[in-house]
Amino acid sequence: MSKLSIKKDDKVMVTAGRDRGKVGKVLRVLPADNRAIVEKVNVVKRHTRPSQNNQGGIVEKEMPIDISNLMVICDKCGKASRLGRKVLDDGKTSRFCKKCGELLDA
């Protein structure tokens, strides 16, 4: 399992598939499957049975999307860009935008 460049609460853009161009916040990352769940992206309808917890009926929910189809949006330049890793002076690693050079995990 390799280290992923996308983390929870990142703002990402979908680069491939039927939701191409949509922007959303990462709700959950599934590193074992190399997938992420993004807010209002890859929404499907599920028919659920009534239970003690929920009413049942047709429920819309987000399904996981492959990490390779996502690009992180930089806070400074506002564009979807690839990420690099830098080792800081204190020995910690941080992600940076390859377009403008801004650190994302400061």
What is the total count of domains within the chain?
Answer: 2
pLDDT tens-digit map of 4-32:
899 999 999 999 999 999 999 999 999 99
Q: By CB neighbour count within 10 A (0-12 exposed, 13-18 middle, 19+ buried), where does 34 fall? A: middle
pLDDT tens-digit map of 67-100:
999 999 999 999 999 999 999 999 999 999 999 9
Residue 1 has pLDDT above 70, yes or no: no
Predicted local distance difference test score (pLDDT) of residue 95: 95
CATH of the domain at 12: 2.30.30.30
| Secondary structure letter of residue 67 according to DSSP | G
Q: pLDDT grade, residue 2 (50/70/90)? A: confident
Predicted local distance difference test score (pLDDT) of residue 106: 67
Mean pLDDT of 38-47: 97
C-beta separation of 42 from 30 below 8 A: no
Q: Which residues pair with 45 in a beta bridge?
A: 60
Same structural domain for residues 40 and 83?
no
Same structural domain for residues 29 and 50?
yes
Same structural domain for residues 60 and 99?
no
C-beta separation of 96 from 6 below 8 A: no
Same structural domain for residues 69 and 51?
yes
Parent domain of 24? 1-73
